[in-house]
């Protein structure tokens, strides 16, 4: 499958194996780029601001309405990915992290909220 033109990269990630991952506007696929080429998974979930990668799973953080939402996605052997779990990311007091900005490196998500940094691991 071929990737569409990237209008705006909403989320980028570099995984421990050296592959680069991108999630972009307008079709919002998940794309893995390696030295030998790229692979595309169609998804259709829009608006995430962070993309974490762990093996054959991805976590998309946020959407247009809820920045604290998180969707765990299965990256299938075929051309489509599918959401398998929906979560809400909360702080230690149980408050949704709607005002946090997220970035991911490999499987870890770093959420910046004011002067605090919260880390999501083991999802």
The number of folded domains in the chain is 1
- Mean per-residue pLDDT, 47-76: 97
CB proximity list for 114: less than 8 A, separation 6 or greater: none
In a domain, 15, yes or no: yes
Per the structure, the complete domain to which residue 94 belongs is given by: 8-120
pTM here?
0.92
What value, to the nearest 5°, has the Cα angle with vertex 12 and ends 68 and 56?
A: 80
In a domain, 91, yes or no: yes
pLDDT-derived band at 123 (thresholds 50, 70, 90) equals very high
Residue 60 confidence (pLDDT): 98
In a domain, 2, yes or no: no
């Amino acid at each position: 499958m071929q990737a569409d033109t990237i209008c705006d990269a909403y989320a980028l990630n570099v995984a421990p194996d050296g592959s680069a991952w991108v999630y972009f506007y307008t079709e919002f696929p998940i794309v893995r780029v390696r030295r030998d080429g790229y692979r595309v998974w169609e998804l259709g979930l829009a608006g995430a601001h962070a993309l974490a990668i762990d093996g054959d799973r991805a976590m998309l953080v946020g959407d247009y309405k809820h920045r604290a939402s998180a969707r765990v996605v299965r990256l299938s052997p075929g051309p489509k990915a599918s959401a398998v779990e929906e979560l809400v990311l909360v702080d230690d007091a149980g408050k949704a992290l709607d005002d946090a900005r997220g970035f991911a490196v490999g499987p870890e998500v770093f959420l910046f909220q004011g002067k605090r940094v919260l880390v999501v691991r083991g999802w």
